[in-house]
Amino acid sequence: MTPAASPVLQDAPDTDHRPTGHCPHCDADVPLRLSRSGPHVRGDCAVCGAYIRFVEQPGVLPFGRYRGQPITQVPRDYLAWLRRTPDVWGKLSEGRRQTIEEVLRDRPR
């Protein structure tokens, strides 16, 4: 059951484009009902409401000075520092690393 403090996201994608998951509680393969859980996006079963998994947000930094900020709004110098710092770069998911690489490539110095 989704906690009352975690309302369903108003900007959640259409059902056709929403992440899906298999619910072990009701045995359904369904689009996830998305809600905020702190800085994370929680995915619950759209049928029974049980928690299934947290959904990755590849366009958002998960830690550090710009935690929760869209990568496209983070200063270029900070993104370049992330890429140059192996222990930090290794903590980022492949999707986030790809997004940072694209921003660094497309954004002039």
| Tens-digit pLDDT profile for residues 8-55 | 454 444 445 678 889 999 999 999 999 887 767 899 999 999 999 988
Which structural domain range is residue 34 located in?
A: 15-55
| Interior angle at CA 66, CA 43 and CA 96, nearest 5 | 55
- Residues 63 and 88 occupy one common structural domain: yes
Q: Is the pLDDT of residue 7 over 70?
A: no
- Residues 66 and 108 occupy one common structural domain: yes
Q: Is the pLDDT of residue 1 over 80?
A: no
> Which residue type occupies 60?
V
8 within some domain: no
- Residues 42 and 61 occupy one common structural domain: no
- Residues 83 and 106 occupy one common structural domain: yes
Number of domains comprising the chain: 2
CB neighbour burial string for 94-106, b if at least 16 within 10 angstroms, e if fewer: eebeebbeebeee
- pTM of the model as a whole: 0.56
